[in-house]
């Protein structure tokens, strides 16, 4: 008597469980594709807080900014160009040493922050020595997103952004 009953229960579970699983999977798949279509399928980049401290030397400068990604897909900053410099490179800082980076990651729903003492833009072969109050144009190139052009203010040599 007992084994028979148990068999019945097992059989019932065996048939309903796959159906439930299939239903759940369909729901999940539906949600996911809807979400992708809305916003999370690509990077959505914006640039803020850009500045260039007036350089102490005539042939070299650094610049800083933040790239915010509101999208659900990561992108990479691959190159920066500017009329001010024929030699713009991406640098990271490890200890007291600067290292050249071929590209910088802009994480999904995250930020790439270039800051004093950290990751920065290195500008060599300057066209002229930038002076406080001047604005310098930069074009940021990314692996997948369209280029972003920004006007970067030249600040005092010791300038630090608030916050
Ligand atoms: Cu550097």
Q: State yes or no: pLDDT of 7 exceeds 90.
A: no
Domain range summary for the chain, segments of one domain joined by +: 1-40, 45-155
Total length of the chain: 163
Nearest to 91 by CA among 110, 69, 113, 118: 118
What's the pLDDT at 17?
45
Q: How far is the CA of 27 from the centre of ligand 1 (A)?
A: 50
13 pLDDT band, cuts 50/70/90, is very low
Q: How far is the CA of 124 from the centre of ligand 1 (A)?
A: 10
Q: How far is the CA of 86 from the centre of ligand 1 (A)?
A: 15
Q: How far is the CA of 13 from the centre of ligand 1 (A)?
A: 64
How far is CA 35 from each of CA 12, 61, 126, rounded to the nearest angstrom? 35, 42, 45
What's the pLDDT at 41?
87
How do residues 119-163 score in pLDDT, each as one tens digit?
A: 999 999 999 999 999 999 999 999 999 999 999 999 999 999 986
Q: How far is the CA of 144 from the centre of ligand 1 (A)?
A: 25
Q: Which CATH topology does 45-155 take?
A: Immunoglobulin-like (2.60.40)
Q: How far is the CA of 45 from the centre of ligand 1 (A)?
A: 24
Average pLDDT on 71-90 reads 98
What's the pLDDT at 2?
52
Residue 105 and residue 111 in contact, taking contact as beta carbons nearer than 8 Å: no
Q: How far is the CA of 74 from the centre of ligand 1 (A)?
A: 24
What's the pLDDT at 109?
97
Partnered with residue 151 across adjacent β-strands are 137
């Amino acid at each position: 008597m007992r084994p028979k009953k148990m068999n019945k229960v097992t059989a019932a579970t065996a048939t309903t469980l796959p159906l439930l699983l299939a239903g759940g999977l369909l729901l999940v798949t539906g949600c996911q594709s809807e979400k992708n279509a809305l916003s999370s399928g690509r990077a959505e980049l914006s640039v803020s807080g850009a500045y260039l401290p007036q350089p102490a030397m005539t042939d070299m400068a650094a610049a800083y900014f933040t790239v915010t990604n509101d999208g659900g897909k990561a992108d990479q900053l691959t190159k920066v160009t500017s009329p001010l410099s024929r030699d713009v490179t991406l640098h990271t800082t490890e200890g007291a040493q600067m290292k050249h980076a071929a590209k910088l990651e802009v994480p999904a729903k995250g930020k790439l922050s270039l800051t004093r003492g950290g990751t920065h833009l290195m500008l060599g072969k300057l066209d002229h020595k930038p002076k406080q109050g001047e604005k310098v144009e930069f074009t940021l190139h990314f692996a997948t997103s369209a280029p972003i052009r920004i006007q970067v203010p030249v600040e005092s040599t010791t300038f630090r952004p608030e916050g």
